Amino acid sequence: MTKAYLQIKYQTRLVADGDSLTVNPGADNVIGWPSVFVSTYAKKSISLLNHAISGDKLVLNTIPQWGTTTKGDNQLVSNWPNVYVVWGGTNDIQFAIASFPGDFTSQSNYITGTVLPQFSNFLDARRAAGWKVVIFTLTDLSSIPGIGSQANALRPIFDNAIKTWTGLHCDYIVDLASNSFIGLDNASSNNPSYFLSDNLPHLSQAGQNLVAQLFSNAMNGFI
C-alpha cells in the first residue's frame, strides 16, 4: 500500500459554515477555530473548506446559499468521512429583535416558527446526502450593543430546541452554551480574555482555541 494511497484514504472533508464566528481570519485577524482545529488535530489529515460569511443568517443566507456554485453537496468526497459543521443562529436572533422591536412573543415565534423548522429541514437534507452534521449552541450575546440582554433571553429558545436534535437532525452537538468560559450569560465580561473588545460576541484567539478543542471531541467520534 503506497504512502499516497494512505494519505488519500485517511483524509477527511470538513466543510465549515456560518457567520463571523467561524470566518477565517476572524475579527482582529485572529485565526478562526476551524483553521486552529485543522492545524492541531493529529488523528487524520483534514481537507477544510470554510464557507462562513460575516453577517450571514441561517434563514436568509446560509440555507438558501447551499447548492450554489460555491458550496453544496457536490463537495462530498467519495470514500472519505465528510463532515458539515455549521455555527449559526446569532444573527437570526438579532434579526428577530430588529424585526419585532419590543415584542418578545413575536421574536420568539420567529425563532420557533421560522428559524428552527428551516434549520432542521436543511440539516436533514445534508445528512441524507451523506454528511455527518455537527451544530453548535450559542455563546454569550450580552456584548451586543443595546440588545445584549434581549438576545440572551432569546438564546435559550434556540439552544434548548437544538439540544434535542442529536440523532434526529444532526450527529453531534457542541454545547458552547454550557461552557463556563464562553457560554454562560455575561461570560464576555466575566471572562474577557476569551472575547474581543469589539462590542460583539467575537472570540479572541483564546476563545477560538477553546472552540477548536471542543469541536475536536466531536470529530473523534466520526473519523
Q: Looking at residue 122, which CATH number applies to its domain?
A: 3.40.50.1110
Instruction: Answer yes or no: are the C-beta atoms of 181 and 210 closer than 8 Å.
Output: yes
According to DSSP, residue 105 is labeled H
Report if residue 75 sits inside a domain: no
Report if residue 19 sits inside a domain: yes
Instruction: Show the cell assigned to 104.
Output: 418578545
Report the mean per-residue pLDDT for the chain. Answer: 92
Report if residue 173 sits inside a domain: yes
What angle, rounded to 10 degrees, do the helices at 148-162 and 116-129 form?
A: 40
What CA–CA distance (Å, rounded) separates 182 from 190?
9
Share of the chain above pLDDT 70, in %: 95
Burial grade of 98 (CB within 10 A; 0-12, 13-18, 19 or more): exposed
Share of the chain above pLDDT 90, in %: 84
The model's pLDDT over 1-43, given as tens digits with 9 standing for 90+, comes to 344 444 444 589 999 999 999 998 766 789 999 999 999 998 7
Q: What is the pLDDT averaged over residues 201-208? A: 96
Report if residue 115 sits inside a domain: yes
- What is the span of the domain harbouring residue 198? 3-65+81-219
Report if residue 56 sits inside a domain: yes
- Distance in angstroms between the alpha carbons of the first and the last residue of the chain: 20
- How high is the pLDDT of residue 70? 84
Sign of dihedral through CA atoms 176, 179, 183, 188? negative
What CA–CA distance (Å, rounded) separates 56 from 19?
5
* Number of domains composing the chain: 1
Report if residue 7 sits inside a domain: yes
- How high is the pLDDT of residue 192? 94
Looking at per-residue confidence, does 199 or 181 come out higher? 181
Report if residue 71 sits inside a domain: no
- How high is the pLDDT of residue 29? 84
- How high is the pLDDT of residue 188? 94
Report if residue 133 sits inside a domain: yes
Select from 190, 187, 192 the least CA-distant residue to 206: 192
Instruction: Show the cell assigned to 201.
Output: 460576541
Select from 27, 74, 73, 19 the least CA-distant residue to 50: 19
Please check the confidence at residue 185 and state whether its pLDDT lies above 70: yes
- Tell me the H-state helices in the chain: 3-9, 33-40, 63-65, 90-99, 104-110, 116-129, 148-162, 187-190, 205-219
What CA–CA distance (Å, rounded) separates 206 from 184?
16
